[in-house]
A and B are shown apart, each in its own frame.
Chain A
Amino acid sequence: MSPPLLVVTKEEGLSNASTLASASSPQSLDCFSQNGGASLKERNYLGLSDCSSVDSSAAPGMSDDKKDNLNLKATELRLGLPGSQSPERGPDIFSLTSTKLDEKPLFPLLPTKDGICSSTQKTIVSGNKRGFADAMDGFPEAKFPGTAAINVMLSPRPAGVQPTAKKEMPSKVLQGQPGAVNGTGGTVGASSPASKAQVVGWPPIRSFRKNSLATTSKNNDEVDGKPSLAALFVKVSMDGAPYLRKVDLQNYTTYQELSSALEKMFSCFILGQCGSHGASGREMMSESKLKDLLHGSEYVLTYEDKDGDWMLVGDVPWEMFIDTCKRLKIMKGSDAIGLAPRAVEKSRSRS
């Protein structure tokens, strides 16, 4: 009889104090793996049954026995590629790299006098440039020469995937932060190295924590103009857009930067709107047309300040603006008519 469908539940601590699951976990989900797809493959630890064309002579894939053997060896606390440990398997498996495995010294986990192990590893992977490392350091073209060699080994991939995609990577990395590259140059103090581009979500710190640090650093006396991990996320809404965006105000140093970032972010909605007016939806808007739309009387950028008042963006100095701005809104020009006088009054009372 088929097992009843289970609620998928797993034990995991919610709060900061995580509880250790001391009970051994039974295979309660075997029913899922049995039912899951006719194409269930026997899994081997090398995962080479599909991908690699070089393993025909070498071990076909580790059975549990072989794995146990390896585990025994593993308790000797030696590290290296598996081919170098068990003599019965040829070193062919990893010939995708040019270095001979026999020459690779093992990584002995033996204590030395100062407690730090010496590392005598030779280069295993040769010629692989990390395109992502390049991406992080200022976005030259991404390069993936290493993968070209590896691709030969793999079973047929969908065509047309490789070359163009890589070039898009650097820009994707910045997708959520269009103003970042330009922006950081300004906010970073002169002492920092070549501006570390702000990648969305790295380092992986909760946005709550980031925002909290921002508030604290504003209150502390010791603030100096060092590059900041804290962020000032504010919501940006636009009349007619189906969803909100969030921007980190610390990424920008001038109104111009913020404005162009928002233009890019919301351009798709403006395009959509033009499409619905009967013009072909796919017609690409020229950049100047876009700017006209935003700078002209169509839309204005407004913000809600700490007092809850809606103001026109641009009236107060930038530093004061990011101090007081709680959220942004792109309004139709016609809706924003009443704002201008109040903004002027406010800046008078502040100065």
Chain B
Amino acid sequence: MNYFPDEVIEHIFEYVVSHRDRNALSLVCKSWYRIERCTREKVFIGNCYSITPERLIQRFPALKSLTLKGKPHFADFSLVPHGWGGFVYPWIEALAKGKVGLEELRLKRMVVSDDSLELLSRAFPNFRSLVLVSCEEFTTDGLAAIAANCKSLRELDLQENEVDDHKGQWLSCFPDSCTSLVSLNFACLKGEINVGVLERLVARSPNLKSLRLNRSVPLDALQRILTRAPQLVDLGVGSYVQDPATETFVKLMNTMHKCKSITSLSGFLEVTPRCLTAMYVICPNLTSLNLSYAAGIPGSDLIKLIRHCKKLQRLWIMDSIGDKGLGVVANTCKELQELRVFPSDNIGHHAAVTEKGLVAISMGCPKLHSLLYFCHQMTNAALITVAKNCPNFIRFRLAILDATKPDPDTNQPLDEGFGAIVQSCRRLRRLSLSGQLTDKVFLYIGMYAEQLEMLSIAFAGESDKGMLYVLNGCKKLRKLEIRDCPFGDTALLTDIGKYETMRSLWMSSCEVTVGACKVLAKKMPRLNVEIFNENETADCELEDEQKVEKMYLYRTLAGKRKDAPEYVWTL
């Protein structure tokens, strides 16, 4: 390729978008490395501590879009103590100093202060898109800064963040001149917003395609908003409470007839189930339906709604739908690709979902490739059937509410069931296990799960062999997270070179000792090995034989981090 001028190669590279492909390009030769790095605009950093922002900026001068992830996944389940890290401020500061032309920032599980948002809003004149997922520490004041200062803001997408409401009028901070909004999602905000301000904002945003409201937006406001924005493609309903016998409701029914473009529906944070009939008219167009926060919809009404949704590809729902409801889904939603069933609060056992629902889905929905399923029980037979019916699984996550429950029919561990899944689904990339499991399931995983990249294990296994089967067998493993399993020092130390091929390893409440972690850290300087023992203060001595409560190790080019709190020892 030496005889192609750079401009030609650059042009070709424009068509190469995925990060993995771009990484491959950069390895071919020096000149491709150079061309690639000068033209890459989007960068994905799966672990914000794996590299310093300065180094990133130096390598990719054309950087426009940055995705950063902070805390380990188990932080979602309160396993990472407060203050662990994942602060975005240093990144924003470095990007500002480096005069990067930042346009998009996507953050997941990071600590985002109002100061960071303020700096972000002022330092990048072309900034257009902010997506925050499962972040914390910012308040509506930070949002106000974004609204006020980002002149060409197109996207503000807040998903499941913990946001303190400071009762300021952040929505009012969008200036009248702001007409560029394409996507606005504030469903996770708990506080009140000024509905009039919202309506005016929608009215002056002709490009608005995605709008997700929070609990404080009532049904009558929804109706008025939809009248002004019939072009919406993605709608998140906030409060949906109304007496169906009112004129307001009739108005809404009529308005829905005009919303032909809506293909994605979510929300219903508060709901009068009888009013769902107004949604029936758009259901035939829906490809995505997220009712996982709609705790107020009983199973029978869920079923009625879903009967109209023949084109559905993605469904997130609560287990109040029951096995019977999942049967209806299986009969109706033949295009279904992704299903998530979340546990609901007030359920009697008869309404919950079991293995029967999953089997029904597998029989009716052969295109299913992503699953997250919370259930009360699972059997090996069911898993084997599912494996046979749906060989296309890419993500398979099963969470049995009783974490070590065996197969209730045979009283056996679920090794064979999960074994069937990994054997049948050759493209499986993500797997989460639960139920009673011995070392055998890990043998199967090591043998068959060739594409596996992320594995989550809890309360499983019998010995170090289990973990070793996985480390030895899964060549593409990137993230391994383990809690409450009897894996110890031998498992940890047998193949330490493996960890540099992975993004991270989490082990909590296992059998690993401080001494082993020290050995590992000493031998592998390009890993950060962090241990947290919460009940110790910094001046406590760590004895080698002591069990480690929580260990998180990750490969890094940035060395030991300087922002770790006192209870974190980086060995």
Interface of A toward B, CB cutoff 8 Å: 3-12, 14-18, 20-21, 23, 25-26, 28-29, 31-33, 35-37, 39-41, 43-47, 50-52, 70, 74, 77, 79, 81-82, 107, 109, 111, 115-119, 121, 123-125, 128, 130-133, 136, 144, 146-147, 150-151, 154-155, 157-158, 160-161, 165-166, 168-169, 172-173, 175-176, 196, 199-209, 212-213, 215-217, 219-220, 222-224, 226, 228-230, 233, 235, 242-246, 268-269, 272, 281
Cβ contacts under 8 Å, B56 to chain A:
7
The answer to whether B44 and A21 have CB atoms under 8 Å apart is no
Q: What are 15 A-to-B residue pairs whose CB atoms are below 8 Å?
A: A5-B557, A32-B500, A39-B523, A45-B446, A51-B465, A111-B388, A132-B403, A132-B459, A158-B516, A160-B545, A202-B459, A204-B432, A209-B342, A243-B82, A243-B566
B66 to nearest A CB, angstroms? Answer: 11
Q: Report if B14 contacts A (CB, 8 A).
A: no
A9 and B26 contact, Cβ closer than 8 Å, known pairs A118-B381, A204-B77: no
- Which of B33, B78, B387: most chain A Cβ within 10 A? B78
A56 to B82, CA, bound (A): 49
Residue of A nearest to B556 (CB): A8
The answer to whether A226 and B345 have CB atoms under 8 Å apart is yes
Q: Report if B331 contacts A (CB, 8 A).
A: no
* B118-126, B194-202, B242-250, B436-444 - the one binding chain A: B436-444
Cβ contacts under 8 Å, B292 to chain A:
209
B355 to nearest A CB, angstroms? Answer: 10
A17 to B316, CA, bound (A): 11
4 additional A-B pairs beyond A26-B24, A220-B296, beta carbons within 8 Å, are A130-B436, A222-B346, A228-B345, A243-B81
The answer to whether B438 and A14 have CB atoms under 8 Å apart is no
The answer to whether B343 and A51 have CB atoms under 8 Å apart is no
A43 to nearest B CB, angstroms? Answer: 5
Q: Report if B173 contacts A (CB, 8 A).
A: no
B404 to nearest A CB, angstroms? Answer: 4
The answer to whether A244 and B314 have CB atoms under 8 Å apart is no
* B1-9, B45-53, B217-225, B301-309 - the one binding chain A: B45-53
* B86-94, B146-154, B277-285, B490-498 - the one binding chain A: B490-498
A237 to nearest B CB, angstroms? Answer: 10
A16 and B496 contact, Cβ closer than 8 Å, known pairs A154-B464, A245-B82: no
A216 and B295 contact, Cβ closer than 8 Å, known pairs A5-B557, A20-B394, A130-B436: yes
The DSSP consensus for interface residues of chain A is loop
The answer to whether B489 and A7 have CB atoms under 8 Å apart is no
A51 to B347, CA, bound (A): 46
A284 to nearest B CB, angstroms? Answer: 14
Q: Report if B560 contacts A (CB, 8 A).
A: no
Cβ contacts under 8 Å, B439 to chain A:
150
The 7 closest A-B pairs by CB, nearest first: A201-B77, A47-B472, A36-B500, A26-B24, A36-B497, A37-B497, A40-B497
Cβ contacts under 8 Å, A151 to chain B:
463
B527 to nearest A CB, angstroms? Answer: 9
A28 and B23 contact, Cβ closer than 8 Å, known pairs A128-B462, A158-B515, A208-B160: yes
A217 and B536 contact, Cβ closer than 8 Å, known pairs A15-B133, A33-B501: no
Q: Count of A-B contacts with CB under 8 A?
A: 360
Q: Within the complex, which residue of A10, A16, A168, A208 is in contact with B547, where a contact is CB–CB below 8 Å? A: A168
A9 to B45, CA, bound (A): 5
Q: Within the complex, which residue of B20, B443, B463, B489 is in contact with A11, where a contact is CB–CB below 8 Å? A: B20
Cβ contacts under 8 Å, B515 to chain A:
158
Chain B positions 528 through 568: 1 when the CB is less than 8 Å from some CB of chain A, otherwise 0: 00000011111100000101010000010100000001110
Cβ contacts under 8 Å, A117 to chain B:
381, 384-385, 388
The answer to whether A204 and B384 have CB atoms under 8 Å apart is no
Cβ contacts under 8 Å, B501 to chain A:
29, 32-33, 36
Q: Within the complex, which residue of B106, B443, B494, B534 is in contact with A50, where a contact is CB–CB below 8 Å? A: B494
Cβ contacts under 8 Å, B524 to chain A:
36-37
Q: Report if B382 contacts A (CB, 8 A).
A: yes
The answer to whether A199 and B67 have CB atoms under 8 Å apart is no
A275 to B347, CA, bound (A): 50
A199 to B446, CA, bound (A): 28
Cβ contacts under 8 Å, B10 to chain A:
none
The answer to whether B385 and A45 have CB atoms under 8 Å apart is no
Q: Report if B76 contacts A (CB, 8 A).
A: yes
A43 to B489, CA, bound (A): 19
A43 and B161 contact, Cβ closer than 8 Å, known pairs A12-B46, A202-B403, A217-B345: no
Cβ contacts under 8 Å, B516 to chain A:
158
A119 to B378, CA, bound (A): 14
The answer to whether A15 and B345 have CB atoms under 8 Å apart is no
